[in-house]
Amino acid sequence: MSGAIAVLRHPRTRTTKDATWVRGLLTRRPTKVVAMALANKNARIAWAVMARGNTYRSNNEIAQAA
């Protein structure tokens, strides 16, 4: 969770899709709830990568490959 809290310190300066998602959550929820949501999202991505034995590909990479 500490990694997610560290990420929450910089969403205002980033223009990525994830930063937009974090900013939206921060307007509606307390910081620690948003940190848990971000940690959960990262854990689900890590699990999917390990379970499938693939490397991580962002949605942008997937869209460009199609």
pLDDT tens, residue by residue, 8-31 = 777 667 777 778 888 899 899 998
Query: Alpha carbon 19 to chain centroid distance?
Result: 8
**Angstrom distance (rounded) from CA 66 to CA 53:** 21
Domain spans, the chain: 2-65
pLDDT value of position 66: 60
**Angstrom distance (rounded) from CA 26 to CA 47:** 25
CA nearest neighbour of 22 among 6, 38, 42: 38
Residue 40 has pLDDT above 90, yes or no: yes
Judged on CB neighbours under 10 Å (0-12, 13-18, 19+), 11 is buried
Q: Please report, as a single letter, which amino acid is at residue 50.
A: M
